[in-house]
Amino acid sequence: MKFETKLIHGGQSEDQATGAVSISVYRSSTFHQYELGGNPKWEYSRTGNPTRAALEALIADLEGGVAGFAFASGSAAIHATFSMYSAHDHFIVGSDVYGGTFRLINKVLKRFGLEFTVVDIQDLAAVENAIQDNTVAIYFETPTNPLLQIADIAAITKIAKKHKLKTIVDNTFATPYNQRPLELGADIVVHSATKYLGGHSDVVAGLAVTSDEKIAEKLAFLQNSIGSTLGPDDSWLIQRGIKTLGARMRVHHANTEAIIKFLENDDRVARILYPGLPDFPGHEVAKKQMDHFGAMISFELQEGLDTKKFVESLKVISLAESLGGIESLIEVPSVMTHGSIPREIRLENGIKDELIRLSVGIEDEEDLINDLKQALDKIG
Ligand SMILES: *Cc1c(COP(=O)(O)O)cnc(C)c1O
């Protein structure tokens, strides 16, 4: 089955009890047991719910894993994944990770004794050099948020396997439509399904998928023990979103290409960060491991131009956090998504105060370009 067909028919595509083409929303916390002490398939919805299970089967199928797990948010999925480990376990983490992941690591996980070394994930020697006796896993995003840096998944998993480490990849920006890290040797993929998988900016959700049966057992145990599970209504919404992922991505990509061309030809734009650009540092690796380059663009305006006025002047593109929805969203990471990272660390990692991140939506391409143009005209 080709990927775009899998989006619609993958996992478990109809309701097992009724044959309903759209999986039912099983809004029930508990299930009647027909036999005392039997082994019922469903007993309590934190442990397992048929609507959630259908989503979990679907994402496992799309990522090429053995099992999927749905959580109340991407952050909850990431937290559950780190919860497989114990105090004094050491992780190598990419320097450019989602602001909330940075906060989870520094303000929560470190208090429980987990140890972290932050490295430039593009630098394979730095990754290998950071390995210690107690290192257990390498955690990174690619493309990263918001710098869109590219990590070489196959090369990193090779280093990881050599040292018996696990590799965990946050695949939110690429989605399995563009990139499937498990096929490249990763052990776990995590997602903020809030973004492209849901796709309509109407639900917060997280997913984790693994290619390893032992990890699957641990994640199932932790999902049930911690209890940060996704409810049936939201599980249904994410499934519905995934069905149109292919159709949406085609428009996201076409619009992105057009916007890149526009930005490249506007001299008020100083720098564009996009893995699809031939002179972008990660371009060759991106070409190797991604089917398309995605619909996230970061850019900087020429020095002295008013970033604040620019983003506030946009009329179609909305100034908002988040990404991956049908509507175009723009944000300034230093103030918004990455505001929780101390300024020195942010600058060290290359996130300037002026950096702008654009999540290209599926509106009409001309409307988006005209909107950018009128806002640029207001400032320079
Ligand atoms: C949004 C995001 C998260 C966090 O997901 P939530 O659903 O908001 O908890 C994690 N990683 C990346 C790359 C994200 O963009």
pLDDT single digits (tens) 150-186: 999 999 999 999 999 999 999 999 999 999 999 999 9
The 296-301 sheet, strands edge to edge: 269-273, 296-301, 356-359, 329-331, 318-319
Question: CA–CA separation, 205 vs 215, rounded Å?
Answer: 21
pLDDT at 14 over 90: no
Question: CA–CA separation, 337 vs 51, rounded Å?
Answer: 31
Task: Give the pLDDT band of residue 17 (cuts 50, 70, 90).
Answer: confident
pLDDT tens digit sequence for 269-311 = 999 999 999 999 999 999 999 999 999 999 999 999 999 999 9
Per-residue confidence (pLDDT) for residue 338, from 0 to 100: 86
pLDDT at 341 over 90: no
User: Hey, how many other C-beta atoms are within 10 angstroms of the C-beta on 35?
Assistant: 7
Does the Cβ of 210 fall within 6 Å of ligand 1? no
Per-residue confidence (pLDDT) for residue 81, from 0 to 100: 98
> How confident is the model over 362-380, as a mean pLDDT?
97
Cα angle value 305/310/313 (rounded, 5°):
150
Tokens at residue 171, please?
């695949």
pLDDT at 16 over 90: no
Task: Give the pLDDT band of residue 61 (cuts 50, 70, 90).
Answer: very high
Does the Cβ of 192 fall within 6 Å of ligand 1? yes
pLDDT at 13 over 80: no
Pocket test for ligand 1, best of 145, 147, 190 (most atoms within 8 A of CB): 145
Question: CA–CA separation, 116 vs 135, rounded Å?
Answer: 9
Of 342, 67, 25, the residue nearest 220 (C-alpha): 67
> How confident is the model over 31-56, as a mean pLDDT?
96
Catalytic residue among 26, 85, 98, 196: 98
Question: CA–CA separation, 181 vs 158, rounded Å?
Answer: 12
Tokens at residue 185, please?
């040797």
Which of helix, strand or coil describes residue 241?
Answer: helix
**Of the CATH numbers 3.40.50.300, 3.90.1150.10, 3.50.50.60, 1.10.10.60, which one belongs to the domain with range 245-377?**
3.90.1150.10
Active site residue 164: no
> How confident is the model over 31-43, as a mean pLDDT?
94
Task: Map out the domains of the chain as residue ranges.
Answer: 3-243, 245-377
Question: Which of 42-56, 125-139, 282-296, 336-350 is predicted least confidently?
Answer: 336-350
Taking CA atoms only, the protein residue closest to ligand 1 atom 11 is 98
Taking CA atoms only, the protein residue closest to ligand 1 atom 5 is 74
b/e map 11-33, b = 16+ CB within 10 Å: bbbebeeeeeeebbbbeeeebee
Pairing assessment for the beta strands 67-71 and 206-210 based on DSSP bridges: antiparallel
Does the Cβ of 337 fall within 6 Å of ligand 1? no
**DSSP E strands, the chain:** 67-71, 90-94, 115-119, 135-141, 166-170, 188-192, 206-210, 269-273, 296-301, 318-319, 329-331, 356-359
b/e map 62-73, b = 16+ CB within 10 Å: bbbbebbbbbbb
Per-residue confidence (pLDDT) for residue 311, from 0 to 100: 97
Taking CA atoms, 324 is separated from 2, 195, 229, 248, 361, in Å, by: 23, 4, 22, 10, 7
Per-residue confidence (pLDDT) for residue 340, from 0 to 100: 78
**Which positions ≥6 away from 279 have C-beta within 8 Å?**
none
Task: Give the pLDDT band of residue 143 (cuts 50, 70, 90).
Answer: very high
Does the Cβ of 75 fall within 6 Å of ligand 1? yes
Does the Cβ of 74 fall within 6 Å of ligand 1? yes
Task: Give the pLDDT band of residue 118 (cuts 50, 70, 90).
Answer: very high
> How confident is the model over 33-55, as a mean pLDDT?
96
Question: CA–CA separation, 314 vs 373, rounded Å?
Answer: 9
CATH code for residues 3-243: 3.40.640.10
pLDDT tens digit sequence for 239-272 = 999 999 999 999 999 999 999 999 999 999 999 9
Element of type H or E holding 248 = helix 245-264
> How confident is the model over 212-225, as a mean pLDDT?
98
**Length in residues, the chain:** 380
**Which positions ≥6 away from 58 have C-beta within 8 Å?**
10, 11, 12, 68, 239, 242
Ligand 1 centre to CA of 74 (Å) is 5
> How confident is the model over 313-324, as a mean pLDDT?
96
Ligand 1 centre to CA of 230 (Å) is 15
Per-residue confidence (pLDDT) for residue 339, from 0 to 100: 85
Pairing assessment for the beta strands 135-141 and 115-119 based on DSSP bridges: unpaired
pLDDT at 86 over 80: yes
Does the Cβ of 144 fall within 6 Å of ligand 1? no
DSSP lists the bridge partners of residue 298 as 273, 357
